[in-house]
Amino acid sequence: MARGAIPVLVGAGQAVSHWDGSTGPADAPSPLSMARAAARAALDDAGVPALAGQIETLAFVRTNEDSRPNPVHPNGRNANLPGTLSREIGAQPRKAIYSMSGGQTPQKLVNEIAADIHAGETECAMIVGSEANGASKTSRRAGLEIDWSDDADLDFEDRGFGPMLLTRNEIKHGMVAPPYFYALFETAIAHREGHTRREHRKVMSQLFAPFSQVAAANPHAQFPVARSVEWLATPGTENREIVDPFLKWHIAQDAVNLGAAVILMSDEKADTLAIPPERRVYLHGAGEANDDHISLRPDLDRSFAMKAAFDRALEQAGRTQADMSALDIYSCFPCAVFSACDGLGLDWRHDPRALTLTGGLPFFGGPGNNYSLHAIAEMMERLRARPGQFGLILANGGWMTDKGGRGCLFDDAARALHPGRSTGNARCPDRDRRDAQRGESRNLYGHSRPRWSAASHRLLPHARRPAIHSEYRGGRDRAVARRGQPDRAPGESASC
């Protein structure tokens, strides 16, 4: 494998299940079954016979159940999701990864594997993720027993659930769940805009009603129902209050059964396999950045990390946000979208572009750490159908802490993408950078072949490593190789 290869996305697949328990436990989806369906769809989309056998790297996005200390597995534990999926699809990867947690993870994995392809370390890779929390909740309500227990012999790198995102003071004051943190951001934005609670609920609903309309037309959405502004802004039995000012449908819904997968390879490999140019989507820019712990931020009504990641991704692609014909902004809570629009300089009330391709985390569904992989799959389809256009994706992790994975896709000739210039810390004005946590990632993708720089082969110069890194053989915890803080460059992430 030669250094300097250009990475390209060639396959995408998604899967959804609306299992309600009425057909019994035998039909219940699992994380493995949803990942298998999405992976097979991505392989079919690539259109290459027996492509699974050529996958050299397989990365599985960490599930929600495994994204916390002392995880609980009410339906049994799949001790080796990368290995069991490889078995199911007939892959034999040399390198298998079970990722860290965080909503920015899929975009960061695209960045990381693109860098590996450019460095000549791999030629063909699959990124896959899934959730079946909806089936888990349904089975418990219905008194049904489902069993997800499984294992495999494939060795894989378990990157752990990631670093602590809370300070002692934040924990002491009860700031221990995402709705609490995001309610602070939302309240700060409402105060800045001079909104009462009622007025801000209406504004949040005006933002999200179009998201629900996109979801209603998306065959892969978990909750494909269009909601009116009035319905979203009014408390009720189906839209109960969660945390002031949020109602249920203002926040990400995790009771989903969803899977997504994408396939990356070198351009030369795609040539060898005769994958048509019109089926290829290229990464043209990336930016990643992190923000401070929430209690240390001077402003809660905006995200410096988001702006830093957007700026890096767009600068690398040589474009502006006005050049983006397609957008998917991470929408776990309205404040995440408001902050992203602020960072982009985008007027969401009057801009004609939709802010989501999927329907967003409340209406498409919030599949744990894996949402942005669905956004990438949707973006690939959008840009294949509209040659010459750009797309931008924001992936958000932590408490608007990690910003990553913006992407632009397009057909025209692109400026060179220089690996190694995408990461850094978002500095708040007049404030020293604190300890890094999860962040933002932005990626830009396109049909045209970018002129990657051969002088620097790493897109991300300091790869993130797990706080606790374990090697698994046959599902058994073989050894703890590293403890302590991750060795990584803190900051936002974005790509084009």
- Confidence category of residue 469, pLDDT binned at 50, 70, 90: very low
Cα separation, 149 vs 408, whole angstroms: 39
Rg value, the chain, Cα: 21
pLDDT at site 73: 95
Read off the DSSP letter of residue 354: -
Q: What is the pLDDT of residues 6-30, one digit of tens each?
A: 999 999 999 999 999 999 999 999 9
Nearest alpha-carbon partner for 8 in 220, 272, 260, 258: 272
Task: Between 152 and 176, name the one with better pLDDT.
Answer: 152
pLDDT exceeds cutoff 70 at 496: no
- The DSSP 8-state label assigned to residue 361 in this structure reads H
Asked, for residue 130, whether it belongs to a domain, the answer is yes
| Residue 94 CA from chain centroid, whole number | 24
Give me the mean pLDDT over the 123-150 stretch: 97
pLDDT digits (tens, 9 = 90+) for 354-408: 999 999 999 999 999 999 999 999 999 999 999 888 899 998 876 554 544 444 4
Residue 173 lies in a domain: no
Identify whether 240 is part of a domain: no
Model pLDDT, residue 167: 80
Instruction: Give me the helices (H) in 119-163, please.
Output: 133-142
Please, what is the end-to-end C-alpha distance for the chain in angstroms?
Answer: 24
Instruction: Check residue 69 and give its pLDDT.
Output: 82
Residue 197: pLDDT band with limits 50, 70, 90 = very high
Give the up-direction half-sphere exposure of residue 41: CA atoms within 13 A in the CB hemisphere.
21
In a domain, 52, yes or no: yes
Q: How far apart are CA 260 and CA 373, in angstroms?
A: 6
* Any domain includes 414: no
How many domains is the chain built from? 1
CA 161 – CA 171 distance, rounded (Å): 18
Q: Using the predicted structure, report yes or no on whether residue 242 has a pLDDT greater than 60.
A: yes
Q: How many C-beta neighbours within 10 Å does residue 3 have?
A: 10
Domain membership flag for residue 444 = no
Q: Say if 184 falls within a structural domain.
A: no
pLDDT in the model for residue 288: 83
What is the spatial distance between Cα 212 and Cα 223, in angstroms, rounded to a whole number? 8
Q: What is the pLDDT of residues 433-459, one digit of tens each?
A: 333 334 556 566 666 666 544 332 233
Q: Does residue 268 fall inside a structural domain?
A: yes
Q: What CATH number should be reported for the domain holding residue 83?
A: 3.40.47.10
Predicted confidence at residue 118, as pLDDT, reads: 94
Domain that holds residue 23: 7-165+256-272
Average pLDDT, rounded, for the chain: 83
Report the distance separating Cα 314 and Cα 413, nearest Å.
15
